[in-house]
């Protein structure tokens, strides 16, 4: 007799991805300027820690809100007892106003169509439960956020079919790639229920063009039973041109209302990236499909946002002057930090995909590979983790079809730490390039690496190579 359920014992969560493995290695040996200066610097975590001082300053100036008071009187009991999963009306109103402002007030959002969730993870999974049956598929452009393998598939039973995007056009979605993905799903006997994109993109750090967005809307328009999910949790991080264009703006410009296209387009949002509050677990689904809203609202009871959190953030986001100043200053800081990373990499002979948003860069290290293989990518990644002491995310964990790309985060550390990371990497590249000519074969490279890492890490090396092979098969 089985002691645990199939779900509890299955291995489809994605936790064994090299993306999460890097985190585990960092946690064993985390960098600390004083206590562990030779430790691993975490550059695989897309956290926005650049503007906490602005948030803390607002809290200091609004002690009643932070103390759960209204007009000087405690409302702690009121908030502690409130548990309506529809959410606080004041917070939903403040949230949709904030979302509109991020989009230049070119579109508006109706708070009646907002469903609050415990972060974007919960929002995306809830939409999968609402839109797809077990075994049905969504198309996702590559490279994509590694957590989607968990968020979209693990509990829902839905499948992901990649839309293969390449560096030849800066990883933009093409009609040919979209159609090929649809045909690939058919060969696997999978019914496609829609397309999910991140805009701005994680891991590319780029915004989608109007032509790409119109292509996607046209695609689902032609297929009467398809949906489009636009995960826009990085929408407030756009720090330079081109500006962010929401799928909602595209819908407003088109004349498809009579055909009900707006009922098949859904937006996911969160305050984890723009405000840097992942620990607050505040996410949202915006959909003008009343059936989706009704079903998602019922499901949200499994992952509510606390009333205390809603009260605090309704006041903060309701402060129009604060939120405008915050967004402008946060974007300025992101731009400065991104340029610091790009400049530091360039000094080491490493280039990046040109980006304008997000908390990371998509870094091109193909010239550092001994061969154009994912095995070579994993070998380089291990050297960067262990020899250089930087945890970055290999492109294979993001299902990139080309080996040699890496996601490198820049907003979760101080400028001094980022400077140290760049110094470490430049030193490594200089030494690596000077010795690479003496290790022309994969077998020699493996021997040198094993000697470098030691017996304790050999078991991990073998495990990662097995993982790399499995990741390629999944693509």
- As a whole number of angstroms, the distance between CA 246 and CA 208 comes to 9
CB 173 within 8 A of CB 119: no
Q: By C-alpha distance, which of 38, 76, 30 is closest to 388? A: 38
- Please give the positions annotated as active site: 145, 231, 233, 273
- As a whole number of angstroms, the distance between CA 133 and CA 338 comes to 40
Q: How many CB atoms lie within 10 A of CB 321?
A: 7
Find the DSSP H helices in 188-319. 210-222, 247-253, 290-299, 307-318
Provide CB contacts within 8 A for 105, sequence distance 6+: none
Q: How many CB atoms lie within 10 A of CB 4?
A: 8
- As a whole number of angstroms, the distance between CA 451 and CA 408 comes to 27
* CA distance readout (Å), 257 to 105, 113, 248, 265: 20, 17, 12, 12
- As a whole number of angstroms, the distance between CA 173 and CA 141 comes to 7
Strand order in the sheet with 114-117: 114-117, 283-287, 265-270, 227-231, 192-198, 137-141, 159-163
């Amino acid at each position: 007799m089985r002691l645990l359920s199939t779900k509890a014992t299955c291995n489809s969560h994605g936790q064994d991805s090299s993306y999460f493995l890097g985190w585990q290695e960092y946690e064993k040996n985390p960098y600390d300027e004083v206590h562990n200066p030779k430790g691993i610097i975490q550059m695989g975590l897309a956290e926005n820690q650049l503007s906490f001082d602005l948030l803390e300053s607002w809290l200091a100036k609004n002690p009643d809100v932070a103390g759960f008071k209204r007009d000087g009187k405690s409302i702690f009991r009121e908030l502690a007892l409130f548990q309506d999963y529809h959410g606080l009306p004041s917070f939903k109103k403040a949230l949709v106003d904030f979302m509109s402002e991020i989009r230049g007030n070119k579109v508006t959002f109706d708070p009646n169509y907002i469903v609050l969730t415990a972060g974007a993870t919960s929002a995306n999974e809830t939409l999968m439960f609402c839109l797809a049956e077990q075994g049905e598929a969504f198309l996702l452009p590559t490279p994509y956020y590694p957590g989607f393998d968990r968020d979209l598939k693990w509990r829902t039973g839905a499948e992901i079919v990649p839309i293969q995007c390449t560096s030849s056009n800066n990883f933009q979605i093409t009609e040919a790639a979209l159609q090929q993905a649809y045909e690939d799903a058919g060969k696997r006997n999978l019914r496609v229920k829609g397309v999910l994109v991140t805009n701005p993109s994680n891991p590319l750090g780029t915004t989608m063009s109007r032509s790409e967005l119109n292509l996607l809307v046209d695609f689902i328009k032609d297929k009467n039973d398809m949906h489009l999910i636009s995960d826009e949790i990085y929408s407030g991080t756009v720090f330079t041109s081109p500006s962010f264009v929401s799928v909602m703006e595209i819908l407003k410009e088109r004349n498809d209302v009579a055909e009900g296209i707006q009922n098949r387009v859904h937006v996911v949002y969160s305050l984890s990236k723009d405000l840097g509050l992942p620990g607050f677990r505040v996410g949202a689904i915006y959909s003008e499909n009343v059936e989706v809203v009704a079903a998602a609202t019922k499901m949200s009871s499994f992952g509510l946002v606390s009333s205390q959190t809603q009260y605090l953030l309704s006041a903060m986001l309701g402060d129009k002057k604060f939120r405008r100043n915050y967004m402008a200053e946060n974007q300025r800081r992101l731009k400065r930090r991104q340029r610091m990373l790009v400049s530091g990499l360039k000094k080491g002979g490493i280039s990046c995909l040109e980006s304008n948003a997000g908390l990371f860069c998509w870094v091109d290290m193909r010239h550092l590979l001994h061969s154009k293989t994912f095995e070579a990518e994993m070998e380089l990644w291990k050297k960067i983790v262990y020899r250089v002491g930087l945890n970055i995310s290999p492109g294979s964990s993001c299902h990139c079809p080309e080996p040699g790309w890496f996601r490198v985060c820049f907003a979760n550390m101080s400028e001094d730490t980022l400077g140290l990371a760049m110094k470490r990497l430049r030193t490594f590249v200089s030494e690596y390039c000077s010795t690479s000519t003496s290790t022309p074969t994969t077998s020699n490279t493996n021997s040198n690496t094993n000697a470098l890492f030691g017996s304790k890490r050999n078991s991990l090396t073998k495990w990662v190579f097995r993982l790399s092979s499995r990741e390629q098969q999944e693509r």
